[in-house]
A and B are shown apart, each in its own frame.
Chain A
């Protein structure tokens, strides 16, 4: 159940946390301060307390990561599985999810500052990544045949992946586009709308002409778009929305477009 690596790091964590508590109380810690990281009462000499407690937290995190992925000790796994030795066959397959997860985290951070919608989007992407990551890990060791593992994984996940991916892609484009339009001037909005339309049309033509497009080109396009969304989102978000000055309809002007003043910032 528990690997040697887990035992080592968990033991180290316990020792460090206990040391921090002893050190905290021995150097003037008050009430439950050392137990609550200083929330209720002082922790004593805070430098040593912080170093020891931080070491304990780091060691405990490593211990749980190790036991979660059972990476640290093949002999412990062999014992757990009741076999003499685990043959090293499980090659970790390639996966998009690390890069998607990183992108999701970035979107979430940007959303944390600029707009809750992006933050929720980032959380959704990270959650999906976690699920997919676990499924990949499971599929990698489902059988001894890598091709069968891949087919098994697709059979389980594809019915969920395709609609969710489509929805997310459209959502991201709409959101990013809306940020750009809210920031752009009147003529700028026309330019951006044209550019986006041309880009979508161009991609469609490209795909129609070459259905089996080089996967490196597709990857490059996806990566470029992702970075462009992040960069554009930051610049547009930081710059803020342009100011709107709704023209109050009054008196004789009502319904008379010829006098309507365009107050949109150029």
Chain B
């Protein structure tokens, strides 16, 4: 036997119903090896972080509305620390936590597995992330961060090292979770589900996990170099007069192409929601898989570190930046064609479709802004456009993940999330992304100082919308859990295997053995077969 469940056997006889999912108390959360409970830990932490980072974003934006600084944080060094925490928090804490949470819950069910691969390692990744975040945040608040502008004192040096080590622990935890998710998709697919028949969300998670697996070790190596230098010297990074070199060394992970990895699961979520809305299979499932794969290739970013040798003027960097638009455009086009061909079903809650398509358009804007950024004559690198790309892509991911949470709510927590609140949340986040992203890009163009001042206030308004969106998600989840409404096993007539199980999902996920899968939409196959049988009988 193994540490994980074996994939269901074709020859296996139907088994007895499995036990219900264990209780949802803290003890169960601490000791669980069930992928749904582990995923919920990630999701809860992700929502908490989203709320915190959104509030921090308002304060950072307020600080930016005055040329002299609004002195929100009490000193130039504190501003620098909080800007770093906000950037890292958005890219490396919020979006990965929400993505891994949703994926840990949904992906094993989508591929027909009874659990995630290496479930204890997946639990360790979740708790390692919690501890890493605690170390990072506390050390920043204690005077650490990614360098200091006003000189480094002894205590601050220790806190800076702790920030870097906490960041490393966060990266290692994400890496471990990615290994569990990638192995699940590679090794635990149900019989008949070849790789080309993998559901698009699971495929997008395999691609993005692979990109993280290639990217995060490079980041961890960066962090080790800095910490070793700080402890042993310092020769490179520890200028006591004040330095931004530490942030310069690691901020490639917050920029394109590395930051585009956040958007890959969005393409999978769109690809999972659109055919259900259309009530038909994708017109080009393989094409969508190819688009997601190409997006993954163009999001590998460990090579583009400007600190050692600046690659950002070279052809490869420019090509990566320009080509990143193509797979997003292709994915949106293929999804739109699927919708146009079948026509949307009447009566489906629109929040998920709005979220999915809104996230796709934001991702298109983000990659488009990235394409502008790499065009030399615009001279946008190192300007506000950097933050513009990050905001558009990161909030595209947040919108897409929120749409995914609304779509899979019954499988996540056994509840249905309210549609009206969903619409509000999606509009809040889309508005936040557009305002913050566009304003930062315009600041990057530096047309006029008066316009830049106005754009700083636009960023502030966008940040407030982000807080409202975050509050909306949290309150929606809380009210849905209290309402006790039964959403049913398959409220949307889904096409993939996660809709074949009951709600709430029991331990082991599936009651009895699954039939052999013959396409990427096995439940649609069953429905079509039933229609065909009825037609033949009549």
A→B interface (CB under 8 Å): 5, 46-47, 50-51, 54-55, 57-58, 62, 65-66, 69-74, 77, 85-99, 101-103, 105-106, 109-110, 112-114, 133, 136-137, 140-141, 215-216, 218-220, 223, 227, 230-231, 234-235, 237-240
Contact = CB atoms under 8 A, between A and B. Distances in A.
B127 to A, nearest CB: 4
Interface string B23-40: 001111111110000000
Contacts of A97: 120, 124
Contacts of A140: 1, 3
Given A71-B187, A113-B162, A77 B134 contact: no
Nearest to A99: B127
B423 to A, nearest CB: 35
Contacts of B165: 109-110, 112-113
Given A58-B214, A215-B27, A234-B135, A94 B183 contact: no
Interface string B116-144: 01111101101110111011001100111
B183 A47 contact: no
B25 A71 contact: no
A114 B120 contact: no
Interface residues of B, number: 71
Contacts of A240: 154-155
B169 A239 contact: no
Contacts, number: 191
B318 interface: no
Given A71-B118, A91-B5, A99-B30, A106 B134 contact: yes
B179 interface: yes
B135 A92 contact: no
B155 A105 contact: no
8 cross-chain pairs, A with B, having the tightest CB-CB distances, nearest first? A90-B1, A98-B124, A106-B131, A102-B127, A94-B31, A141-B1, A98-B123, A216-B25
B27 A99 contact: no
Nearest to A90: B1
Contacts of B52: none
A47 B314 CA distance: 12
A102 B217 CA distance: 19
A57 B214 CA distance: 10
Given A112-B165, A231-B134, A96 B187 contact: no
Interface string B148-182: 00000011101101100110110001000001000
A61 B276 CA distance: 38
Interface stretch (B8-16, B54-62, B65-73, B374-382): B8-16
A219 B138 CA distance: 22
A74 B27 contact: no
A77 B127 contact: no
A47 B218 CA distance: 12
Given A95-B31, A223-B26, A113 B183 contact: no
A220 B26 contact: yes
Contacts of A92: 3-5, 33, 115, 119-120
